[in-house]
Amino acid sequence: MTILEFQDKFSTEQSIINYYIQIKYNGNLCCDHCGSDKVYHRKDKLKMYQCETCNNNFSIFKGTIFEKSSTSLRKWFYAIHLFLNSKKGISGCQLQREVGVTYKTAWRMLKQIRTAMASKGMKDVFSSTVEIDETYIGGKPRKKNKGMQTDEFKNKRGRGSFKTPVIGIIDRTSKQVYAKVALPNENNQKLTGKQLLSILSEVTKTGTTVISDEFRSYNILSKSGFIHLKVDHSKEFAKDEIHTNNIESFWGILKRGIYGIYHSVSVKYMQNYINEFSFRYNNRFNENIFDTLIKNTHQ
Ligand SMILES: [Zn+2]
Under a CB-based contact definition with an 8 Å cutoff, are residues 260 and 88 in contact? yes
Q: How far apart (Å, rounded) are the C-alpha atoms in residues 48 and 62?
A: 10
Domain covering 129-264: architecture: 2-Layer Sandwich (3.30)
What is the pLDDT at residue 38? 96
Q: How far apart (Å, rounded) are the C-alpha atoms in residues 212 and 179?
A: 15
Q: How remote is the CA of residue 34 from the centroid of ligand 1, in Å?
A: 4
Cα-to-chain-centroid distance, residue 247: 16
Pick out the chain residues at pLDDT < 50. 140-157
Q: How far apart (Å, rounded) are the C-alpha atoms in residues 56 and 250?
A: 47
Q: How remote is the CA of residue 58 from the centroid of ligand 1, in Å?
A: 9
Q: pLDDT per residue over 64-116, tens digit each?
A: 999 999 999 999 999 999 999 987 778 899 999 999 999 999 999 999 999 99
3-class secondary structure, 252: helix
DSSP type of residue 62? T
Q: How remote is the CA of residue 282 from the centroid of ligand 1, in Å?
A: 38
Cα-to-chain-centroid distance, residue 32: 28
- All residues with CB under 5 Å from ion ligand 1: 31, 33-34, 36, 51, 53-54, 56
Under a CB-based contact definition with an 8 Å cutoff, are residues 218 and 228 in contact? yes
* Strand runs labelled E in 36-128: 39-41, 48-51, 57-59
What is the pLDDT at residue 240? 76
Q: How remote is the CA of residue 51 from the centroid of ligand 1, in Å?
A: 5
What is the pLDDT at residue 238? 57
What is the pLDDT at residue 285? 93
> Angle 124-130-136 (CA atoms, 0-180°, nearest 5)?
100
Q: At what angle do helices 267-282 and 103-116 cross, to 10 degrees?
A: 60
Length of the chain: 299
Cα-to-chain-centroid distance, residue 44: 35
What is the pLDDT at residue 223? 95
Q: How remote is the CA of residue 103 from the centroid of ligand 1, in Å?
A: 40
What is the pLDDT at residue 171? 96
Domain extents in the chain: 3-116+289-295, 129-264
Q: How remote is the CA of residue 116 from the centroid of ligand 1, in Å?
A: 28
Q: Which residues pair with 137 in a beta bridge?
A: 164
Q: How remote is the CA of residue 64 from the centroid of ligand 1, in Å?
A: 20
DSSP type of residue 142? P
Q: How far apart (Å, rounded) are the C-alpha atoms in residues 106 and 97?
A: 9
What is the pLDDT at residue 156? 47
Q: How remote is the CA of residue 173 from the centroid of ligand 1, in Å?
A: 44
